[in-house]
Amino acid sequence: MTTSCEGKVALVTGTSRGLGKAIAQRLAASGATVALTARTAEPDPRYTGSLHETLAEITGQGGSAVAVAADLSRPDERERMFAEVVEQVGAPDILVNNAAVTFLRPLDTFPDKRVRLMFEMHLMAPLHLAQLAVPAMRERGRGWILNVTSVAADLPDGPPFSDFDTSAGFGIYGAAKAALNRLTKSLAAELFADGIAVNAAAPSRPVATPGAGTLDLAKTDTEDIELITHTAFTLCTGDPTTMTGRIAHTQPFLREIGWPS
């Protein structure tokens, strides 16, 4: 077990399953006290995984964690959750914005309510949680903020456009993640002098998680979850003077840092 996160508090959102759970487990294994948050607190037959299951797995392996359920699409819930985390384990040194909600359909029929919900979760919630976390990070002179993004933020090639680009319905999802990438770069620039690293990490291909399976995104050509987990861990523990402002796609990033050695 490494000790690079010993004494640090990490707040990871969307930790009942999937990427968020894997990232939280990796940070806990490295010595961090991990604050877990998601909507699904108790096991529910409609979903795979829950906060309390993640909590039990981490503590059962000797890690330190707390769980605070919250609906992160609501600003008041974000503030309540953050305050409870600070009260229980202290202000986070590391913030991982992973929680998301995703709907895929053509833009000309996309319901306004779902557009607003997706931008609230993919953009407004990460910004709000960063605003809540930055004061303590700035006081300490250190901090790490990681936003989980997607290659869907990249502009599609064309014309002509592929069948995937014209039928997959990624327009709103990609737009939200593109905005998150721009937010990441701007925060990195503004917080650089404070010793706070701000990065984004994207799987190079769909990861076979429960959420991706629900959207039929992980049937073929999938990526091992360990690649995004290691990318996230590296960006959450790197030197803020050099490893900040990165929009890291897993496979090229891991080749760059020579992992695995």
Is residue 255 within a helix (H) or strand (E), and if so which, with residue range?
helix 250-257
Asked if residue 260 has a cis previous peptide bond (ω within 30° of 0), the answer is yes
Average pLDDT over residues 176-193: 98
Q: Is residue 4 part of a domain?
A: no
Is residue 217 predicted with pLDDT exceeding 90? no
Q: What is the mean pLDDT of residues 232-247?
A: 97
What is the Cα gyration radius of the chain? 17
C-alpha 95/C-alpha 201 separation (Å) is 13
Rounded Cα distance, 64 and 72, in Å: 23
Range of the domain at 129: 9-257
pLDDT at 220 over 70: no
- Please tell me the pTM assigned to this model: 0.93
Domain membership flag for residue 2 = no
* pLDDT tens-digit readout, 144-168: 999 999 999 999 999 999 988 888 9
- pLDDT for res 29: 97
Quick one: CA torsion of 101, 124, 152, 70, rounded to 10 degrees? -30
The closest alpha carbon to 236, from 94, 92, 25, 33, belongs to 94
**Is the per-residue pLDDT at 103 higher than 50?**
yes
Dump pLDDT digits (tens) for 57-92.
999 999 999 999 999 999 999 999 999 999 999 999
- Residues labelled as active-site residues: 173
Q: With respect to residue 83, please indicate whether it lies within any of the assigned structural domains.
A: yes
Q: What is the pLDDT of residues 13-33, one digit of tens each?
A: 999 999 999 999 999 999 999
Domain count across the chain: 1
pLDDT band at 221 (very low <50, low <70, confident <90, very high): low
Quick: pLDDT tens for 109-140.
999 999 999 999 999 999 999 999 999 999 99
Lowest model confidence (mean pLDDT) among 8-12, 194-198, 201-205, 254-258:
201-205
pLDDT at 208 over 70: no
Nearest to 196 by CA among 133, 129, 144: 144
Q: Is the pLDDT of residue 214 over 90?
A: no
Measure the CA dihedral 84/85/90/95, to 10°.
-140
**pLDDT score at 37:** 98
The β-bridge relationship of strands 143-148 and 196-202 is: parallel
Using a 10 angstrom Cβ sphere, with 0-12 exposed, 13-18 middle and 19 or more buried, the burial of residue 107 is exposed
Q: Output the average pLDDT for the chain.
A: 92
For residue 98, what are the CA distances in angstroms to 12, 18, 138, 201, 242?
7, 10, 22, 10, 23
Buried b / exposed e along 242-254 (16+ C-beta atoms within 10 A) = ebbbbbbbbeebb
**Which residue, chain included where needed, has tokens 């959420």?**
211
Residue 52 lies in a domain: yes
CATH number at residue 126: 3.40.50.720
Structure tokens at 122: 């993919």
Q: What is the pLDDT of residue 1?
A: 38
Higher pLDDT, 2 or 113: 113
Please give the pLDDT value at position 218: 46
Q: What H or E segment, with its residue span, contains residue 222?
A: none
Indicate whether 147 belongs to any domain.
yes
